[in-house]
Chain A
Amino acid sequence: KNEVEQSPQNLTAQEGEFITINCSYSVGISALHWLQQHPGGGIVSLFMLSSGKKKHGRLIATINIQEKHSSLHITASHPRDSAVYICAVSSNTGNQFYFGTGTSLTVIP
């Protein structure tokens, strides 16, 4: 079992829909990261969270430390949001990093 689990694994949405990607983790963390990987392969760091909620444009990330759960929301989705979204955590012991397997999002015009 992975230390970081994401759901869903694949997601197809119509343009304009509200999208939620979930991430659960089983280790103690110092921070949780959301990454975006576009079809060309490049990876962009979207958010780093240790508590609460962060917003950047149409993207919102939340984390519940007690429940060991984070969500990434995309409002008013657009085809350019099509990418793989990866959840990753840095543990609070031993400098360990764990990655989820990613959620492949396709937004259809």
Chain B
Amino acid sequence: DTAVSQTPKYLVTQMGNDKSIKCEQNLGHDTMYWYKQDSKKFLKIMFSYNNKELIINETVPNRFSPKSPDKAHLNLHINSLELGDSAVYFCASSQNEQGASGYTFGSGTRLTVV
């Protein structure tokens, strides 16, 4: 039973489209994250939610909007997709916002914008 599951695993879409990536964790963790890994493999945090409340919002275009309907879900919606949005997006969770017990990562969503 997957602890942190992301869907879809691969997403190919045209510029200008709107798309969503879903993330669910069944670990009972309070905190969830979205990370972006660019073509150079550099990992950067985008958002963090603790108990459905936004606690980290890095400098990310406002075309990216996270939604947390409950603490087990953190979805990422992207409007007006651009070529530069192509990357691998990882969802993760931790017991609390201090990262207690480490992080559990999803398997990633490879987004390709054409």
Interface residues of A (CB under 8 A from B): 30-31, 33, 35, 37, 41-48, 84, 86, 88, 90, 95-97, 99, 101-102
Q: How many A-B residue pairs have CB under 8 A?
A: 58
B62 within 8 A of A: no
* Cross-chain pairs A/B with CB under 8 angstroms, 18 sampled: A30-B98, A30-B99, A31-B98, A31-B99, A35-B103, A43-B105, A45-B105, A47-B102, A48-B101, A84-B41, A88-B43, A95-B55, A99-B42, A99-B43, A99-B45, A101-B41, A102-B41, A102-B43
Docked pose: A101 CA to B97 CA in angstroms = 22
Q: Which residue of A lies closest to B55 (CB)?
A: A95
Given A95-B55, A99-B43, A99-B44 in contact, is the A33-B103 Cβ separation under 8 Å? Answer: yes
Interface string of B27-59 (1 = CB under 8 A from A): 000000000000011111100100000011000
Given A31-B98, A86-B43, A102-B41 in contact, is the A95-B56 Cβ separation under 8 Å? Answer: yes
- Grouping DSSP codes into helix (H, G, I), strand (E, B) and loop, the B interface class, with mixed when no group exceeds half, is strand
Given A95-B55, A95-B97 in contact, is the A44-B43 Cβ separation under 8 Å? Answer: no
- Chain B residues with CB below 8 A from A35, complex form: 43, 103, 105
B112 within 8 A of A: no
- Tell me the minimal C-beta distance from A76 to chain B in angstroms: 24
Q: Which of A31, A43, A95 has the most CB of B within 10 A?
A: A43
